[in-house]
Structure formats: structure tokens, C-alpha cells
Amino acid sequence: MLTKIIRKSTRKKRCQSTEILSQGPSGIPMSLSKKLEDNRQAILTIFPKADDLVIRELTIGTQDPVQAFAVMIFGLFNEDSVNENLIKPLLSLYDNQRSGSPLKIIKDSILTVSSVQEVQTIDDAVTGILSGDTALFIDGADSILIASIRGWEARGVEEPETESVVRGPREGFVESLGTNISLIRRKIKNPNLMVEKVTVGKQTKTSLCILHIHGIANDEIVQEVKDRIGRIETDSVLESGYIESFIEDAPYSLFPTIGNSEKPDIVCAKLLEGRIAILTDGTPFVLTVPYLFVEAFQNSEDYYSRPYLATFIRWLRWLSFFISTFVPALYVAITTYHQELLPTSLLISIASANEGSPFPTIVEALLMQIAYEILREAGLRLPKAVGQAVSIVGALVIGEAAVSAGLVGAPMVVVVALTGISSFVVPALTDVTTIARFALLILSSFAGLYGVMLGFAGFVIHQLSLRSFGVPYMSPLVPLSGAGLTDVIIRKPWWAMTSRPPVLSRNTTRQANSLTPRPPEDPGTLNKT
């Protein structure tokens, strides 16, 4: 008796499980019915309060007419294209005498849409509808036609404000995933450029595209990127920063291990070096991996200008990074604990400037740094015209007022101003330098130069422990690579850059070795007539 009860209970659970599997997240049947009215009611049940839902009833043909309806979301489809390529052909060109199922005839012979797919479940149709596609339900059919006729208001391609250049392409990514892929395809006309689409986010169902060049990118790194993205289980993805936080190697580190850019030429250059790009629908910021520390000091314009100037500017970036990170801490350490390191005249000048200040040097430094960060944040959040005025005028007024009131010394204002300007030279590390600056200030106030050296050693050790998708973060500095250093310390001419970074690609050959420009030995031969 007990055995019969257990068997009956097991059969009941199996039936319930089968029923649940055939339903959607809200208990709505997701399987397609051959009855058109059942499918219509399923759509209306899935969208109970969607006033922007458009259902267009259709009667196709005059003899033995076929009933159908199209479903779309207002604002996500191109109305003109739907009318011309879907509604009009169905109502005017359908021939009832053709052999075959209505669905196959409509798909192959009538619809003038470039992309038409068949799906077997209402759930898949709903996903397409919410993405901007048009779903066509046909009476008696065992599939649903999904026509890609998307169209919505979008921002045009323009120059990114955060990555402006003097020389080079001025186009930037936009919020449309398809447009961003086309911008990359225009520059890399190679069938080996792989574009793989995935969907992330249970609620938002955000589309991502993973791009890499087959034969250049490391297959193991590509697979690791796919695995990490595949493990993401979250409700929403609204920006590429969501993806970055889920797949980065060191989530608690100050230093970014995933790069981002708004410029197609930068992303294409990284793809050609063997990196992988991750494009997210709805944002112009494209992620690139692996990301190395030295990339923060490289700029796309370096490779468009002459190598001598590019090398000099690159040195300035390294110098600016150290100034913005260490100068405030060094000033506090030397003026507080190591005055003997200063020339006598400079020491007297600093002492006279600080005479009458009620605060110790560390308090002055912290107050001025906090005031600077407040002004910088205000300038970023306010409208562009007002923000620039607030940043410039506010800095001048507050600095002058603080010195006049005797709250801080003039040398401290100079140090903070130099630090702030230097931080803008390496924008990719602005977040890092801000936090590191405050940490080093506190260490220098307790232990002087020993505290600064301790902090510097801690940062270096931490950086050496980092990896970006298996690649050492400090490469090619550590482990040392002579070939890689030629594009870190200096910028070699293009004809001398014959190889790709070996840590990124197994196919390191970029071009031939014999591309050095060779003008004719006798220049007079060019002038002969």
C-alpha cells in the first residue's frame, strides 16, 4: 500500500514538473498553439498592462484566406519598414494557389525583410518583440516568424568628449550594439574577426558581443572570457561596468585589470594585438582584455604622430603619474620630518609662507586635497559650460582666500594645483592616483619618507601579484621583455614594430623586417626628365 502511494506521488510530481517546464516565469504557457486565438490570449496575458504593445490583425489572401497577426512594441520598430516590407506584401502579394505551408510561402516568397527567423516557443517570440523585432503569428502554423525590423531614436556617431585627439579618427562608439560592430568591421575587413553574441540579465536580457581575431588572439584567453561571462547570473546589465565587475581578476584592487574605450580605432588596435573586446548594448564603452598597467600611458595619437614627440609625451605621462601620486606625500614628509634635505633658502621660504597657519602640514594637505576633489566632482556633474567656470573660478577663489586668511601656506596650494593638473595627464589612472594619494599622505604623516617608501613598496608588490586573464599585469616590465619594452619606454617607428606583444598573442609576427624606408641613393635620378 505504501509503495503504491509513493509511486502515485512520484507520478504526480513528474506531471507537475512537466507542466511547470512548459510554462513561463509567471505560469503562462510558453508552448505555441496552432489556434491563433490561444496565442493571442497568451500574448495579452504576458503583457497585461502594456499600452505600447501593438497587435496588427491580418487577413492574408481572398480565396481560402489565412488569418494572422503581427506583434510589436511601439517605439522599438521602424514603422515605415514594417508597413512596406511586412504589412503591404502580406495584404497584396499573397498567392493562395502556391503549394506549401502558408508559413514557408510567407517566409521565402513574400516578406521583403533581410532577416526572418523561425522560433517554436512564445517565450522566444517575446524576447524578440522586446528587442524590437516583429513577431508574426499564423493560424495553424507550428512556428512563429520573427522579422528584424528594428528602429528607434539613437545618438549619432560623434567624437568622444573623454578621448579627444589632435590627429586621428574622431568617431566614437554609440549606444547601439549593431552600429558599434559596424564601426569595427569598417576598419578590420577580415573574415577571421569573430563576433559571438550572448545574452546576460534575467530581466534586461542585455545583448553582449565578444570580438576577437582568430589566429591572433590566444584561444585559451578567449575561452576564459566566454566562461566568465557565462557564469554571470544577475537580473540586470545596464552598462559595461556591470560586466567588468563580474569578470575582473582582482575585484578588491585599486588597479583596473580590464580596459575600456569609446574609440573604434583604439579597440581595433587592441584586437590586432591579440586582445578580446566585449561590446555591451546600450553603452559606448567597450571593454578590452587582457589589460596591462602600461596601457594607461599609451595613447592612440602616439601611433599617428612622429615617434620622437610620442616618446617625449609618453615620458611626460610617467612623470605626471608619479607627481600626482607621490608629490603631496613627499612634501608632507620632508617639511615635517626631514627638513635637512631642503636647501636653506627654500626651507626659510616655506617656513615664512607657513607662518601664522594654525594647522599642521598634514591637515593643510588633507583639507586642500578634499577641497580640490569637491571642486573636480562639481565640475564634472554640472552642465559643461557652468562646470568649467565652477572648477576654474572656484579653485582660484578658494586657493587665494585660504592663503589670505592664513589657513594654509602658499606652497601647499602650489603642490595641490600641480598634483591636480598632473592627474589629468593619465585619465585612465585618475581613480587610482586619488586613493593612493590620500593613503600615502597618511603614511607620510606618521613615518615620513619611510612611510612613503613603505607605501610605494606595497603598491609595487600588489601590482606584481595581479594578473589580467592569466597575463601578468606588469608585463612587459615584470617579467622583463626586451621586445615589449620598445613600446613602453619609447615609441618605435611603424616600420620597426615587427612583432606583437608575446604575452598576448601566439602569432607574434606583425610585418616583415625589411620595411625600412630606402630613398634612392642618387636623388638626382628623380629629377631627370
Residue with cell 545583448: 207
> HEC profile for 4-25?
HHHHHHHHHHHHHHHHHHCECC
Q: How confident is the model at residue 509 (pLDDT cuts 50, 70, 90)?
A: confident
Residue with cell 612583432: 499
Q: In this predicted structure, what is the pLDDT of residue 11?
A: 45
Q: Long-range contacts of range 338-342, CB-CB < 8 Å, 24 or more positions apart?
A: 338/448, 338/449
Q: Minimum mean pLDDT among 238-242, 345-349, 428-432, 478-482: which range? A: 478-482
Backbone angles phi, psi at 24, to 5 degrees: -85, -175
Q: Minimum mean pLDDT among 8-17, 85-94, 325-334: which range? A: 8-17
Q: In this predicted structure, what is the pLDDT of residue 327?
A: 94
Task: Indicate the domain borders of the chain.
Answer: 21-147, 177-291, 307-472
Question: What would the pLDDT profile of 88-146 be if each residue is shown by its tens digit?
Answer: 888 875 555 566 678 888 888 888 888 888 888 888 888 889 888 899 998 888 888 99
Q: How confident is the model at residue 155 (pLDDT cuts 50, 70, 90)?
A: confident
Q: Residue 137: which of 115, 121, 113 has the closest Cα?
A: 121
DSSP class of residue 150? B
Q: Long-range contacts of range 511-520, CB-CB < 8 Å, 24 or more positions apart?
A: none
pLDDT (average), residues 47-58: 87
Q: In this predicted structure, what is the pLDDT of residue 523?
A: 66
202 sits in the region (left: phi over 0; alpha: psi -120 to 50; else beta) called: alpha
Distances (CA, A) of 14 to 2, 10, 29, 95, 234: 18, 6, 17, 46, 29
Judged against a pLDDT cut of 50, whether residue 5 lies above it is answered with no
Helical spans, DSSP H, in 136-218: 177-187
Q: How confident is the model at residue 432 (pLDDT cuts 50, 70, 90)?
A: very high
pLDDT (average), residues 290-296: 94
Share of the chain above pLDDT 90, in %: 40
| Most confidently predicted of 88-97, 270-279, 396-405, 480-489 | 270-279
Helix H or strand E segment including 280: strand 276-280
pLDDT (average), residues 408-423: 89
Distances (CA, A) of 209 to 72, 229, 283: 24, 11, 12
| Grid cell at residue 345 | 633658502
pLDDT (average), residues 403-426: 87
Per-residue buried b or exposed e for 291-323, using 16+ beta carbons within 10 Å of the residue's own CB: bbbbbbbbbbbbbebebeebeebbeebbebbeb
Q: Minimum mean pLDDT among 300-304, 476-480, 511-515: which range? A: 511-515
pLDDT (average), residues 385-404: 74
pLDDT (average), residues 403-417: 85
Distance, in Å, from the CA atom of 477 to the CA atom of 114, rounded to the nearest integer, reads: 50
Q: How confident is the model at residue 491 (pLDDT cuts 50, 70, 90)?
A: confident
